[in-house]
Chain A
Amino acid sequence: MPLWLELVVRIGGVLAAFLVLPLLVGQAEHKVMAHMQGRLGPMYAGGFHGWAQLIADGVKFVQKEDVTPRAADRPVFRLAPAVALMPYLLALLVIPLGPNDLVGQPLDIGLFFVLAVVGVGVLAVLMSAWASANKYSLLGGLRGAAQLLGYELPLVLAAASVAMAAGTLSLSGIVEAWQPWWLLWQAPAMVIFFVAGLAEIRRPPFDMPVADSELVFGYLTEYTGLRFAFLLLAEYVGIVVIAALTTVLFLGGWQGPFADAQLGWLWTLLKVAAVSFVIIWLRVSFPRLREDQLQRLCWLVLVPAALAQLVLTTAVRLAL
């Protein structure tokens, strides 16, 4: 296969995942939440159990007027949704789907790359919050920035633990080194990573920055139409990225019960779907954490636990 064709196929594959997986997660969220709450959820769009609901939503968003508030800082306000989407698109590029380089772009320091680009997302929060010229937006953005900066620490520490265990920063390398008993050894790191990841994408119960009962919709308040849809899309791509990273780092990625070489991509996708389901489940189950509880959980529970896990990882690595 010539180089350019391979490049086109790889980028096309990542783009398709970027556009399709968040929609699947969004539709699953509609239906799962509805059934958990004793409702039916969308039933009409598309005919069969409302499968086309999100497509209809997309059409609706495109038709809406794109309003920029008069007092807003126009260029920053309009740029923010793109800045919110870009990190997750780049992160999807290096997450391996299966063995033998079934990945957008194999990278030796893939783990570090993902953590670096996902950390840029906080800029989009601050940009959209400040440029909206709205005090609810600004308050939401400041809450969001404080939360993202805080939770990045346990996220990175938990990821460092598994990188130490595998002895590599390459995501494919980590999956290759992974063994089932790591589920026990790295269990605290997995919980820490998952919780911190949940906070990184501002999903309930960590949705204080967009708390609708007090801040209208936080930094999203002033957005309408397509730009609002992009910011929502960023949230759902975030779910996919966090679920995929949890899968790759802690659940063995493409390693499955049989036929890893042929069906690796299927195992990865199934695990990603399962983790995404848990993320949706948590939204339905838990009330929103208050701002002080949220920071307390981060600094007094997750960070010390992550440091303890690092010590444990080092001890076991040295003992083996």
Chain B
Amino acid sequence: MTAVDALLLALGAVAVGSALLVVATRHLVRAGLYLVVCLGAVAGMYLVLAAELVAWVQVLIYVGAVVVLLLFAVMLTRAPIGASDDLDRPGWPATLIGGGTGLGLAALLIDAYRWTTVQVPEAGTAERLGAQVFGSWVLPFEVLSVLLLSALVGAIVLSRPDIGTTRPARSSTGDGDEVPGERGRSR
């Protein structure tokens, strides 16, 4: 076993352990923080496998933005300090589905690869990744960008119900001013 193998195993253990803590902990915000550890460990695995750019994209997007948005939303609504026992649902269906999927995937992968060793491919530099994405994968890339754009537009439309509804007629006194409370009512 080489140092790379050992590192990969250790990072995998950290990722799986913290992922278990994410779903097992009763502390809402701490679950989000464990998710940070989990995603960071996955980034570390990318790094060990020489996919440098993907690793830092993972840190920038998932640790720096997605989890932060998640924590932000939790803190805006309800984020008690300490365990919140009232939030827990019966765990067994989730355990069944999650455990079953995990075991099934593990069995599939182990059966597929057995003990074949795979060479680590050449380093995933920004140059190589760019050439791939804008060469052979340019169509999926563009389709994905359209998907993201439509999601953005959809989010704006959903969060603003005043779009598309006809505005109520303005009162004659308020020249250009909004009627007090109008905004609140239309939402």
Contacts and interface: CB of A to CB of B under 8 A. Distances in A.
B63 A123 contact: yes
A123 B65 CA distance: 9
Interface string A148-183: 010010000000000000000100000000000000
Contact of B30 (A76, A108, A112, A138): A76
A218 B57 CA distance: 30
A316 B143 CA distance: 28
Given A73-B82, A112-B126, A145-B68, A130 B75 contact: yes
Interface string A110-123: 00110111011011
Interface string B53-67: 100110110011101
A120 B59 contact: yes
Among A76, A109, A115, the most chain B Cβ lie within 10 Å of the Cβ of A109
B36 A123 contact: yes
A109 B125 CA distance: 8
Contacts of A72: 81
A122 B60 contact: no
A148 to B, nearest CB: 8
Contacts of B57: 112, 116
Given A73-B81, A149-B69, A112 B56 contact: yes
A119 B60 contact: yes
A120 B64 contact: yes
Given A119-B65, A123-B68, A108 B60 contact: no
Contact of A126 (B30, B52, B65, B71): B71
A141 B53 CA distance: 30
Interface residues of B, number: 26
Contacts of A142: 72, 75-76
A119 to B, nearest CB: 3
Contacts of A25: none
B79 to A, nearest CB: 6
B65 A149 contact: yes
B23 interface: no
Contacts of B82: 73
B72 A146 contact: yes
A109 B47 CA distance: 13
Given A76-B30, A108-B52, A109-B56, A119 B64 contact: yes
A186 B63 CA distance: 30
A91 interface: no
B33 interface: yes
Contacts of A119: 59-60, 63-65
B38 interface: no
Contacts of A131: 81
Interface in A50-97: 71-73, 76
A11 interface: no
A126 B75 contact: yes
A141 B81 CA distance: 15
A133 interface: yes
B45 to A, nearest CB: 16
B29 interface: yes
B53 A112 contact: yes
B59 A109 contact: no
A127 interface: yes
A248 B135 CA distance: 31
B75 A122 contact: no
A129 B71 CA distance: 11
Nearest to A108: B125
A116 B30 contact: no
Given A73-B81, A76-B33, A108-B52, A152 B64 contact: yes
Interface in B141-166: none
Interface in B114-157: 125-126
B72 A145 contact: yes
11 contacts: A73-B29, A76-B33, A112-B60, A116-B60, A120-B59, A122-B64, A123-B33, A126-B68, A145-B68, A146-B72, A152-B65
Given A72-B81, A116-B64, 11 more contacts: A73-B29, A112-B60, A113-B56, A116-B56, A119-B63, A123-B33, A126-B75, A130-B75, A141-B75, A142-B76, A149-B65
The 9 closest A-B pairs by CB, nearest first: A119-B64, A116-B60, A116-B56, A116-B59, A73-B81, A145-B72, A126-B71, A109-B126, A122-B68
Interface of B: 27, 29-30, 33, 36, 52-53, 56-57, 59-60, 63-65, 67-69, 71-72, 75-76, 79, 81-82, 125-126
